[in-house]
Each structure stands twice: as C-alpha cells, then as structure tokens.
Amino acid sequence: MASPAPAATGADVRAVSSTVGDGGLADPLLAVGNGGAATKQESGAEGKYWVPADEAERRAATESGGEDGRPLLFRKYKLRGAILHPYRALIFVRLIAVLLFFVWRIRHNKSNVMWFWTLSVAGDAWFGFSWLLNQLPKFNPIKSIPDLCALKLHYDLPDGTSKLPGIDVFVTTADPINEPILYTMNSILSILAADYPVDRFACYVSDDSGALILYEALVEVVKFATLWVPFCHKHCIEPRAPESYFELVVPPRIGRASEEFVNDYKRVQMDYDDFKMRLNKLSDTIHKRSDVYNRMRTPEGDAQATWMANGMQWPGTWIDPTENHRKGEHTGIVKVVNGSEVDANRNPSFNTTDVCLPMLVYVSREKNPNYDHNKKAGALNALLRVSALLSNAQLIINFDCDHYINNSQALRAAVCFMLDQREGDNTAFVQFPQRFDNVDPTDRYGNHNRVFFDGTMLALNGLQGPSYLGTGCMFRRIALYGIDPPHCRPGNITAKYGNSTPLIDSVSKAIKQESSTTPPSLDDTFVSEMEMVVTASYDNGTDWGKGVGYIYDIATEDIVTGFRIHGQGWRTMYCTMEHDAFCGTAPINLTERLHQIVRWSGGSLEMFFSHNNPLLGGQRLQLLQRVSYLNMTVYPVTSLFILLYALCPVMWLVPDEIHIQRPFTRYVVYLLIIILMIHMIGWLEIKWAGVTWMDYWRNEQFFMIGSTSAYPIAVLHMAKRLLTKKGIHFRVTSKQTNSNTDDKFADLYEMQWTPMLIPTVFVLVANVGAIGVAMGKAVVYMAVWTAAKKVHAALGLLFNVWIMVLLYPFALAIMGRWAKRPIILVVLLAAVFLFFGVIYVKVKVDASAETNQPQPKKSTAAVVAAAAALPRRTEHPKALLLSDTTRHQAAWWTASEVPSGLYNDE
C-alpha cells in the first residue's frame, strides 16, 4: 500500500513533509527540472545492459544548433556488446542446429508409424520456420526514452502559454453492460486531468450503444472534474484516475502530510463517493424521468421515449426499443458536453489554480441494420471525422474505455518523438506498452504479456518501428488520412474523404499542421454537418476503411492499420517510461481471455489471406519489418502441430512402445538440445528486456493453453471464411467483475465452459493418463526391461510431464475456487495417476490370465527358436527386436525363463 504522497520518485514512495511549499507536496513523477525524474529515467535506461546510442547525434546537434532549429527530444539506447553479441551468436548457432536436426531426421526416416513421422517432420520444419520469423527481427533492440526536460524548455513559454501541438483524445466504448460505466468515467477523468495545456487538447467519447446513461454520466464527470482536476494539478497526484488513486493511497493523517493536503484529500474523496452514487442511480433516474415525461407528453399508446434532463427526447436508443430507437438502429448524435470554464464557486480551495477543462464531446455514430458498421474501426473513423471539424488537432491518441492515464506526463512523452528533429516528421505513431492493474499476483493466464511488450516491441523499435496495438497509441493525423511521409509525399492528394466540404478543407489544414484553437460556433448548420459525417452510409464511395483511417473488414483493425502506415514509408516509435504511462483492465477469466485470443489470432490470419498480405503489400516496407508482420499473421498455424504433438500420448496408452523416430534415444537428446537452446536465447532476452522468469514461464504456459484451444479455433474460423466469405464474429470482451463478492480476483475462479476448451481437456487427460499408464507399465515390465527400454520410458515420461506442467494453469481453472489451495491439485493428480496405473495393471493381468491357459510346455530352446523365426529389425546388427505381441507375452516370463540376449535394444 502506498503512502498518502500524491506522487513518488521511482519504485518506492516516500512520506510527505508538511513543510512542502505551494508547489505541491512532492514533485510529480518525471517532473521537469534539475535532478528530476528524466534523469532517473536515463540512468535507469542505461543500467546494466543498455548504453547510449545517440552520443554522436547529440554532439552534432549541439555544435550546429540543430538541423532545423528543433532540439533532440528523446534518448536512444542500444544493447551492450557483452550481451548483444552472444545473443546474436546463439541465434545463429541454433539455426545451424535446427538445420542439422532436420537433415538427420530425413536421413533416419524410421518410425513405428510412418504417417506420424511424416507429420512430425512437417511440424519440425514449421517450428523452425516460425522460430526464424520470430527471431530475425530481434537482432537490434533499441530503447527510446523521452526527454521531458528538453520539451519543457523549448515548448513551454515563460508567460504560461505553450507551443505544443494539439491532441485529440479518443475513447471508445461498445455498451455500458460489458464495459462498466465507472471504468469509462475514470478513463475520462484521467484524461481531463493530464498534464498538458488545457487549450491544446480535447476528449472525444464514442458510445456505440447510443445510450442516454453514458451521455448523462459524462455530464456528471464534468461536475466532479471541476474538483478533481484542480486537486490533481495542485498536489501533483498520480495516478489521475480517482478509483485507482483512492485504492492505492492510504488515507493521510496530520503529521505525515500537510494539513492543507489532508483537508483537500478528504473533501475530494467525499465528493468522489457522491459521484459514484450518482452514477449508480442514473439508470433509475432516467427511467423515472422518462415515465413522467411519457405520461405528460405522449398520447395514449404511443412509444415510450427516453427523455433527457432538459426535456428533449433522446435521439439514441430508448429504454423501450422502437423502430429507429433500438440497439443497432438509431440516429447519429454529436454533443459538446463541456467547453467552458469551471464554476470557481464549486472549488474555492483551488481558486489559485487553472480552472479550465478540456473540451469533452459525446459521439454516437448512426446505426442502421442495412449497413455494416465496421466495429471499432468504424467508431474510430467517425471520431476522426468529427474531431476534424471541431478541433482538427495535429496528433491523435486513442484509448479503450478501460484504460486510463497512469502517468500524467504520458501525452508529453509521446509528443517528444513527434517533434524530434531526427525522425519526428516521418514518425506516424508512438506506441506505448499495455499494462494492467487488475491481474492476479501470479498472472495465471499471462495477461501482462511482458515478453511481447518489453521484448518483441523493443526489438521492432530498432527496425521501422513497432506495430499498432489498438490502444495507448498516439498518431499523426495525416498518417491516418493515408498521406505519405514528407520524404516521399506526392504533390496532390487523391484519396476520397466523402461529401463533407468542411471535412475536406480540414484535411488540407492538417497537412499544413493547422488546428482549431477554439471550437467553431455550434449553430444548427454545423451540428448537422457533424451528424452527417457519423451517418452509417458516409463511408460508401470513399476510401475510409481502405486507404484512409482505420482499416475495415478485419477482426483486428490495429495490426492492419499499422501495416498500411508502415507500407507507405512511415516509421514508428515505442515509448517506455519508468512509471507506466497507461493502465487498463484485462479479462482475468480464462474463457474471456481465450475469446480475446481467438479474435486477435483470427484477425491475424485474415490479414494474411487479404490484399494486406505481408509478402505482397506495403511497397515501402523494410525487409525485416515485413518478416515481423509475416510472423504476426501466420503464428496461429503453429498450434496445429503443437496440438498434434500434445495428443501423442493417446497413441501409446495401450501399446507397449511406439517410436516417433528411431534411434529414439538420439532423437530425444537432439530434441532436448534444440529446446534448451531456445530457453538459453530466452534467458538472454529476458535479461535485456527486464522481465522475470515468471513472466517468461507464464508466457510459455499460456501459449500452450492457447495452442490447444483458441489458436486452432482461429484456424478453423479462417478456413470457414475462405469457404463461406464470412469473417470472425466480433465479441466484445466483458470487463464486468463478480459484484457479489469483495474478492478482487473473483473472476479468476469462474470457469465458463465453451467448446473450444474440449481439445485442451482431452490433451490434459491424455497426458495425465499416459503418466498413470507409465506407472502401470513400470510395475508390469520393470523386471524384464533392459536399461535401454528404461531410458526410453523415462524420456517419454518426461514429455508427458512437460505437457502437464505447461497446462498447470488450465488444471487450476478447472478446479474453480478450489484452486486457491494448489495442494488439492497435487493430491488429485496423484489419485488420477494411481487410478490409470491400476486400470492398466488390471487389464494386463486379465489379458495374461486368458493367455496363460494350460498349454503344452515348451522348452527354452523351442522358445528361442520361435523367437529367432520372427521378422527382425535391422537398424542395429546385434539387436534381437521382437514384435509388440511377442514382447507382451515375454513380459510375463519369470526372470529365470527369459533367454539371454532376448531384450537387447538399440
């Protein structure tokens, strides 16, 4: 639990002295000034594995005064040679080892089941290819750290004004059911309180449900923001989402903090509690108000409309749905919720601070069942057009409704990359890593995904730049408009932007980097123009969703939008901050998490089979950047071969022995070496990426769970699309939590069964059963097995145990709330092992009893003669290998009756 200090420097939080001056109780994290957090960031970035990579550039800029008068606004760091060179060398060595292993398998094409051998060789070839696709783009990781001191020095003027560019912030929400209103309002409050000039940014909220409750929640947000925003600025509060702040901070006491801060804190907390109560009552308030107005103003039998507080009918969805007012069918709505100064009487204790709020706009695009609404991409493009008419900011940043600004200077950090003299003008977007604050401490289902965000993305930062990840990404508006970067921009613009003349004019202004400092007059004509650009049919006959804006006709609009921008020649940047820029809410329920994975992986495959195929599209894409996109689009196919291997135990549950490759011992040893080298490379990656072994291990475990459930389903979806032309069904990930318990992680223990989990259950049962059968075989055969056969059994058992350990989180999910005591799983597995072992022994004993009926006794010599007459395998000249049937019968001879040399094996 943090201290009551509203800000902290670094990971630890210090107590606040009551002697702090008027500037606040503590300097904000990443505060600008001598010895501020920017210095801490640089030293932290340099650290043990990273060294500055831009010293020559900085010296040249200092000597010349800057190429175009602009400063260098971020620092670049590269890996030290002591870790980079071994990393690259190990990748090369493993590549050679994989090739040699593959050649060895082809030359020794011997197996008990040749069709399985063929599939396994194809799988090994694919594994090697996909590994290479994943590894090649990681040859030159680069870390970029914003220089906030330089930004303040050059763009914040002494008179309190600023030369910073304008920013339009987009927040998208689908409905208030799956995405709780409180999450969305906290996201908006954190945006309104961000450390950025209030006249330089605006917030646009897209509501796809068209529900009055979200609009009225925004009205309540503005009321509370008049207290919350000045409180944040005055006391340098972090984070600036009130729900997260009040959860993390211990209520202050006099002596630990100043009396002024304690009084302000209590007042704001009390007001926030009232704010949440008003949000909870909104639904009832709207119902009661609408009932009153419907009785007063509508004739008997007319539709029961929904009424706003000002006595106007709500044009969106109604409580009692009717034609043109039901979910998925309503008119477009654009309303400016706030654009004026705050009432100073509401916050008398903060009257010395800036009491202005950024412009806040509610947008609900028209829904019509006759048109495809293009999911989230359609909502973002509607916001793009409305914002062009109202503010036309040079920069745009978008958030999912469950993400909030965790570091108040995050917007400034992204701007550093956009204004830098080196690549600023050619930078299309700046992507931040995604962080989550509702994940269970053990991160059972790998929600943090730090191997990707802190490893793969840093590697791409050394190429043409990271891909777009859907949220927490700042764009240059003209890059979204489909306009080429300056170094390869044609003289004319040929894109089709629709029939709105003001919108087309705004495109020309955007190219010239002109923005509206004050919103235009909101007369009826202008409001009609804004509502026109959010109609369902506006995209028809235009380039929206194709070469302009966010791309349509794919389940994952983010990756293909980033690909289109990279293909035009733009570069992108990855911004990391010591104090995370943004935080969000992840689906910690396994089923919801897997549904999310199905959509992501299915969308990736859709991209591969579209005109945005990385092999064919993007004429200005760099080679390794193309390789990285190819890896992002084909990785789900790997799951088919993983599923094949994971189901192997089914084949040897009953037979005595089946070899996928002979000689088996050498095959397994080679395989173990190959796998060990993967983890050695992974060890080096987690060193320079700064992730833990637990993060790495959770990534491995969840990939196995996904490879036996979500990824194969995505492949089936893609096959269906190719045959029927129907794409992935978009399913909004539910962020609702179990409200009937105080357990923050209650959803973690809720198991929602779905058909996609059947293969995972089957794999788990097969491998657990195989371990039990192995125990039974040990009881039956141990007396007659040779050392070679014991080694084979141990190696096969190692595979089963490895699969079972990878599926450990899934086993916990099946247990539900019992998983709170993992010892129960250990006891349960032991019982299941014993069950399968006993069943196997019982079957063998019964079969032996039937086989060993009284027979004419044969001499040992006769038995040896019969064995010698059987077909022999010739891979080892000294081996006498019996068929499975003969081995089964011979296993029941006593040790004294077994002929010498009968079980010599390879």
pLDDT in tens, 481-499: 999 998 787 766 778 899 9
Residue 705 has pLDDT above 90, yes or no: yes
Task: Give 69's pLDDT tier (boundaries 50, 70, 90).
Answer: low
The predicted pLDDT at position 725 comes to 76
Contact 545, 395 (CB under 8 A): no
- Top pLDDT among 42 and 612 is at 612
| 777 annotated to a ligand binding site | no
Q: What is the residue-wise DSSP string for 167-197? A: EEEEEEES-TTTS-HHHHHHHHHHHHTSSS-
The predicted pLDDT at position 873 comes to 42
Per DSSP, the three-state class of 313 is strand
Lowest mean pLDDT, pick from 393-397, 628-632, 635-639, 767-771? 767-771
H/E element, 509: helix 501-511
Residue 32 has pLDDT above 50, yes or no: no
Q: What is the residue-wise DSSP string for 417-437? A: HHH-TTTGGGEEEEEPPP-BS
Q: What is the sign, positive or negative, of the torsion defined by CA atoms of 393, 396, 397, 402? A: positive
Look over the chain and give the mean of its residue pLDDT values, rounded to a whole number.
82
Residue 224 has pLDDT above 60, yes or no: yes
Task: Give 60's pLDDT tier (boundaries 50, 70, 90).
Answer: confident
Lowest mean pLDDT, pick from 240-254, 291-305, 527-541, 751-765? 291-305
Mean pLDDT, residues 341-354 taken together: 48
H/E element, 767: helix 758-781
Q: Who contacts 840 (Cβ-Cβ below 8 Å, separation ≥6)?
A: 772, 773, 775, 776, 777, 780
Q: What percent of the chain has pLDDT over 70?
A: 81
H/E element, 337: strand 333-338
Residue 469 has pLDDT above 90, yes or no: yes
β-pairing verdict for 50-52 and 329-330: unpaired
Q: Who contacts 432 (Cβ-Cβ below 8 Å, separation ≥6)?
A: 410, 414, 472, 473, 574, 575, 576, 577, 581, 582
Mean pLDDT, residues 861-880 taken together: 45
Residue 854 has pLDDT above 80, yes or no: no
Task: Print the SS3 string covering 77-139.
Answer: EEECHHHHHHHHHHHHHHHHHHHHHHHHHHHCCCCCCHHHHHHHHHHHHHHHHHHHHHHHHHC
Per DSSP, the three-state class of 621 is coil
CA dihedral 760, 764, 765, 770 (to 10 degrees): 140
pLDDT in tens, 884-904: 333 333 333 333 333 333 333
Which of 205, 229, 231, 237 has its CA nearest to residue 16?
Answer: 237
The CA distance from 335 to 362, in Å, is 5
| 375 annotated to a ligand binding site | yes
Residue 570 has pLDDT above 60, yes or no: yes
Lowest mean pLDDT, pick from 59-68, 457-466, 566-575, 668-677? 59-68
Which of 353, 355, 379, 375 has its CA nearest to residue 365?
Answer: 379
Contact 474, 393 (CB under 8 A): no
pLDDT in tens, 764-795: 998 998 888 888 888 888 878 888 878 877 87
Which of 198, 187, 233, 225 has its CA nearest to residue 7?
Answer: 233
The count of residues in the chain is 906
The CA distance from 193 to 357, in Å, is 8
Q: Which residues are part of the catalytic machinery?
A: 208, 558
Residue 183 has pLDDT above 60, yes or no: yes
Q: Who contacts 200 (Cβ-Cβ below 8 Å, separation ≥6)?
A: 162, 164, 165, 166, 167, 393
| 284 annotated to a ligand binding site | no
169 sits in the region (left: phi over 0; alpha: psi -120 to 50; else beta) called beta
pLDDT in tens, 135-176: 999 989 999 999 999 999 999 998 888 899 999 999 999 888
For residue 210, report the phi and psi dihedrals to the nearest 5 degrees. Answer: 65, 30
Distance of CA 815 to the CA centre of its chain: 26
Residue 405 has pLDDT above 50, yes or no: yes
Which of 351, 452, 873, 370 has its CA nearest to residue 685?
Answer: 452
The CA distance from 55 to 328, in Å, is 56
| 720 annotated to a ligand binding site | no
The predicted pLDDT at position 513 comes to 80
Q: Who contacts 539 (Cβ-Cβ below 8 Å, separation ≥6)?
A: 374, 378, 381, 498, 545, 552
Rg (CA), the chain: 32
Task: Give 365's pLDDT tier (boundaries 50, 70, 90).
Answer: very high
Q: What is the residue-wise DSSP string for 139-171? A: SS-EEEEE-HHHHHHHHB-TTS-B-PPPEEEEE
Report which residue type is found at 329: E
Which of 168, 171, 304, 286 has its CA nearest to residue 220?
Answer: 286
Lowest mean pLDDT, pick from 6-10, 77-81, 540-544? 6-10
The CA distance from 32 to 148, in Å, is 6
| 163 annotated to a ligand binding site | no
For 222, 255, 260, 353, 360, the CA distances from 225, given in Å and listed in that order, are 5, 28, 20, 13, 11
Angle between helices 710-724 and 590-608 (to 10 degrees): 40
The CA distance from 601 to 635, in Å, is 8
